[in-house]
Amino acid sequence: MCLTGSFPTELCKLVNLTIIELDENRLSGSIPPEIGNCKALQRLTFPINFFTSELPKEVGNLTELVVFNISFNKLGGRIPPEIGCCKRLQRLDLSQNNFCSELPNEIGTLMQLEVLILSNNKLLGRIPSILGNLSRLTELQMGGNQFSGGIPRELGWLSSIQIAMNISHNSLSGTIPPELGNLALLEYLLLNNNQLTGEIPSTFVDLSSLLGLNLSCNHLSGPIPSFSLLQNLTSSSFLGNEALCGEPLPSCHRFSTLSSSTDSRSSGYPIGEIVAIIFAAIGGLSLVLIAVILFFLRLPVEAVAPLHDTQFSSAESGFCILPKDGFKVNDLVTATNYFDEDFVIGRGASGTVYKAILKSGLPVALKKLTSNREGSSMENSFRAEILTLGKIRHRNIVKLYGYCYHEGSNLLLYEYMSRGSLERAASWKILQFRLEYKVYDSSWGCTWALLSAPRLQASNHSPRYQIKQHSS
């Protein structure tokens, strides 16, 4: 059954009372100043209750007090400095309350104090350096407050501290004093969640009894001292310190590279960045240039070589690639009177050749190939042959001016040879008649064209043609 109500002031009339223990009840209200009348009290504990208001200064009258525990209540305000009068005090626990003042220096005069627990309040200001005089202190718990400033180096004088030193979750700054390395009996050191800077002191090698260390969530830097005591700890003991490196954290080599880069930026000479940008730009331009070159290398030749300025006309009858003179396929049809027999100058297995005189007066030979069954699109092989013929230039090979597709037929536009075919020139009578005009030059020219054929076939698209003595 839990006690309720307020603190029983009648207890204070018992002047010889040495122990008051009211732990874990539902007592509330304030602690009455009459508590100071119990001058024989050696043990006063009432943790886990609902006491409020401030701790009365009359507690300083309890000069025989050895244990004072009022943790887990709702007490607030300041800690009365009169508590320093309790010179026999060995255990003081004010944790889990709402005390919001600075820690009075008088606590540092309690020379018999062995356990000091002030954690999870709202205590502020600096940690009094006088706490270093508590030579019998075995446990110091001050975490979860609002202490600021540096860690007093005098805490390194607590030679008897053994159980723990916890000053985590405050706003402490500055470096870790190397004097903490003197705490040879200390088992747990908790400095995490502060704003500490600098390196971990090498004197920590002397913390021979250390079982746990937490330095996480600070601003520490540099390498973790290379001794087994620290390197055997888990990485969670050091996390949250961006510039801290070495076992059990990643190697310091990476951090030295980052540091050099940071120094370069801060000095106004970001050499690494400039070099990286230059190489990236060069690499990007090279890739673009290669892509452009490959694009043009892969482009098919879409125009016959001799037709320097070709025109494409897409009429309903088909398409046409013709010389730059600019005539249309209808001009060819009209010039041959719709491919009338009167204009035929030759026939062959592949088609019929017509003579056509264009509007400009230029005579041409128009070869109409056999009907294409594929409708309005030319075969790829035919296109490749036309493109190759357009590139060939030889005095004994007829020039190809252009080609068209018209109403199901492929039309080839050649240079008109007014003197007829080789067959005609090779007949004996004509050869005898023409000897003085060196007709044999044509035969030599034909031979030269045959010798040139391998070079013309160097292209993958170069066709292989039969050599005939007539033009059709």
The whole-angstrom separation of Cα 299 and Cα 316 is 27
Q: How far apart are CA 14 and CA 129, in angstroms?
A: 39
Collect all residues with Cβ–Cβ distance below 8 Å to 430 and sequence separation of at least 6: 424, 439
Note whether 385 and 463 are within 8 A (CB): yes
The tokens for 272 are: 């690494």
Nearest to 141 by CA among 164, 157, 124, 158: 164
Site of tokens 């971990």? 200
4 close to 27: Cβ distance less than 8 angstroms: yes
At a CB cut-off of 8 Å and minimum separation 6, what does 314 contact?
Answer: none
Q: Which residue type is seen at 268?
A: G
- Reference 41, options 22, 23, 68; nearest CA is 68
Are 354 and 332 in contact, with CB atoms under 8 Å apart? no
Helix (H, G, I), strand (E, B) or coil at 137: coil
Instruction: Tokens for 238, please give them.
Output: 């050091």
| 217 DSSP assignment | S
N-term to C-term CA, the chain: 126
368 is known to lie in a ligand binding site? no
Cα separations in angstroms, 236 against 194, 209, 243: 15, 20, 15
Mark the binding-site residues for ATP, compressed into ranges: 367
Binding site: what residues are annotated?
367
